[in-house]
Structure 1
Amino acid sequence: MEPHHDHSIHKHHVEGKNLVYSIFLNVVIVVAQIIGGIISGSLALISDALHNFSDVLSLLFSLVAHKLSRHKASMHQTFGLKRAELIAAFVNAFTLVIVAFYLIYEAIDRFFHPKEIGTEIVIWLALLGIVANGFSVLLLKKDADHNLNMKSAYMHLFSDMLASVAVLIGGLLMKYFHIYWIDSVLTLIIAIYLIIVGADLLKKSTKMLMLFTPENIDINEIIAEVHKIKGVRNMHHIHVWHLNEEELHLEAHIECTDDIKMSEFNMILEKAEEVLHEKFGINHITIQPEFRREDDKDFIVQD
């Protein structure tokens, strides 16, 4: 079996320190909301503080997963801990959906049982939440575009920022127009958005954890391209999966047309590596060479 590991592909370097800054900012928000909730008598603020505290835990989980994913491979962990971030993304996406359903429950309850609260403190704390979470969102935006774990943390922070915007709008309307139902309506809209985004993250992380073939990969196209290489009779027993978001793996058997030397097979292998990397972005390839071997020649074989 001939393994190949191509590290020439450019990898985005995720800044773990941005998560640390975001955690600090969210701790400030939690403390401020608890104090503000006690002073204003707002149960909603204290509830939101608990929600933000759950986000702090999610950010901590993402940070730990980020650190673990950087551990080097060993004899006992031959892939290192690279899938830790996928697990974090799955857990954070799941909690995002749970939080969304909780917000829907709170919004419906608040709609039928509106509460008059001290709007001044609510408005100022909403502004604090917008600024702090907005800054955190900006810190993680670039990483979120390249890393599912960071995207799950980013979405938690983005949802908090949207919630703070809703609280600000609600606070202003309650203060000047005594419209108390608007807070519930805005919360419902945000919750529905969170369910849509959270479900998408949950779907993507689940597929990666379950080693599904990536959606942008067509195995039939891979087979067609490899079969064009001179000396290849048949490519079969194919598996394609994401180890993490940066590493796309393929393993397969290739039956040769002739009983060739291994040095000659290396030339076939190099051409296959080039095609798979350039056309499909596959950067970790393991090929088993065969010649007239009695085995299942189906493209996909149940191991």
Structure 2
Amino acid sequence: MGHSHHNHSHSHSELSGRNLVISILLNIVITISQVIGGIISGSLSLLSDALHNFSDVLSLVVSFIANRLSKKKASTSKTFGYKRAEIIAAFVNAATLVIVSLILIKEAAERFLQPQEIESNLVIWLALLGIIANGFSVFLLKKDADNNMNMKSAYLHLLTDMMASVAVLVGGILMKFYQIYWVDAVLTFAIAIYLIYMGYDLLKESTKVLMLFTPNTLKVQEIVSTISKIASVKNVHHVHIWQLNENEIHFEAHIDFNEDIRLSEFDKILDQIEEELHHTYGINHVNIQPEYGKRDSKHIIVQD
């Protein structure tokens, strides 16, 4: 069995954690302000934005806890440590995006049928607060979102909320100068649809990782063909490929050899396989079971 690891630096993880804390505090301020403002003004879009901000606070807290847990070392009772904590956080956060969106659609439909007069000045100022605070949070998390599913889920919550605040601002301006109050419900509906659109892909990707599906970028048959080109390899079967987290892709297989080779010869072949899988396919965890003349299923995929 061979391994190669590529970990992020400790200081990078600490920076991610600090940025999450700053974002949590900012969103608590926004949520409280928008709840009070939404009740006073009567704006559903402002209250819906506050609800989304509250879900942001929860998602950011989940992301922060997962970020801390992912640094814990493995033990005999937790041989993988908490490496999946951030994937679970991404799944939970993506799911909350979709659930909150469905609630907003229901509320928007009810308000559209019964539009209400709204204090637009308060809506405008609180929307500006949301844009500034969430914009700063988006800036803090953008870099980490590129290579971490957990941070991406937090980033998406904040990005969509910033966009929602922009929509609320536009609605406030239309209500102030043109008295178009039904736009409040329409914008709420638009925000909800956008949240579903943004959350669905992340929910799908995190589900695939949790279900141990083969990463989309890897083709099992192609990898098997690559290994089969080694002269002494007779057959590659019982293959499993899965993603543990953003940084680790695992590969395991049974390899049937043409001859009853020595252990030292197998070690050389294993090194060759590890190098090829790592450099060509980005697989950094390899587990090979060598066989010679064993009567087992030789199918590439075998149901355990």
Normalised-by-shorter TM-score class: over 0.9
Aligned to 2:84: 83
Aligned to 1:247: 248
Aligned to 2:162: 161
| Structure 1 letter corresponding to 2:135 | G
In the TM superposition, residue 229 of structure 1 has moved relative to its aligned partner by: 1.2
Aligned to 1:256: 257
| Structure 2 letter corresponding to 1:5 | H
Residue 220 of structure 1 aligns to a residue in which SS?
Answer: helix
In the alignment, is the contact (CA less than 8 A) between 1:217 and 1:280 conserved in 2?
yes
Q: CA 1:105–1:53 in structure 2 vs 1: closer, same or farther (change >3 Å)? A: same
Q: Alpha-carbon deviations, 1:207-248, whole Å to 9, x = none?
A: 100101111110100011001112111111100000011100
With normalisation by structure 1, the TM-score equals 0.94
Aligned to 2:24: 23
In the alignment, is the contact (CA less than 8 A) between 2:45 and 2:185 conserved in 1?
no
| Structure 2 letter corresponding to 1:288 | Q
| Structure 2 letter corresponding to 1:296 | S
In the alignment, is the contact (CA less than 8 A) between 2:90 and 2:150 conserved in 1?
yes
- Partners of 1:251 and 1:284 lie apart in 2 by 8
Structure 2: which 5+ runs fail to align?
A: none
Aligned to 2:71: 70
- Partners of 1:46 and 1:285 lie apart in 2 by 51
For residues 185-196 of structure 1, the aligned pairs below 5 Å read 185-196=186-197
In the alignment, is the contact (CA less than 8 A) between 2:42 and 2:117 conserved in 1?
no
In the alignment, is the contact (CA less than 8 A) between 2:37 and 2:126 conserved in 1?
yes
Query: How large is the Cα RMSD of the aligned pairs?
Result: 1.7
Q: Greater shift after overlay, 30-39 or 248-257?
A: 30-39
| Structure 1 letter corresponding to 2:4 | D
In the TM superposition, residue 163 of structure 1 has moved relative to its aligned partner by: 1.3
Q: CA 1:50–1:191 in structure 2 vs 1: closer, same or farther (change >3 Å)? A: closer
In the TM superposition, residue 58 of structure 1 has moved relative to its aligned partner by: 1.4
Aligned to 2:183: 182
Residue 235 of structure 1 aligns to a residue in which SS?
Answer: strand
Equivalent pairs counted in the alignment come to: 300
Residue 236 of structure 1 aligns to a residue in which SS?
Answer: strand
Aligned to 2:281: 280
Aligned to 1:56: 57
Q: CA 1:38–1:104 in structure 2 vs 1: closer, same or farther (change >3 Å)? A: closer
- Partners of 2:169 and 2:34 lie apart in 1 by 14
Q: Alpha-carbon deviations, 1:238-283, whole Å to 9, x = none?
A: 0000001110000111111111111111111011111111111100
In the alignment, is the contact (CA less than 8 A) between 1:166 and 1:183 conserved in 2?
no
| Structure 2 letter corresponding to 1:28 | V
Aligned to 2:222: 221
With normalisation by structure 2, the TM-score equals 0.94
In the TM superposition, residue 97 of structure 1 has moved relative to its aligned partner by: 0.5
Residue 101 of structure 1 aligns to a residue in which SS?
Answer: helix
Residue 80 of structure 1 aligns to a residue in which SS?
Answer: coil
Establish whether residue 5 from structure 1 lines up as the match of residue 6 from structure 2: no
- Partners of 2:51 and 2:213 lie apart in 1 by 36
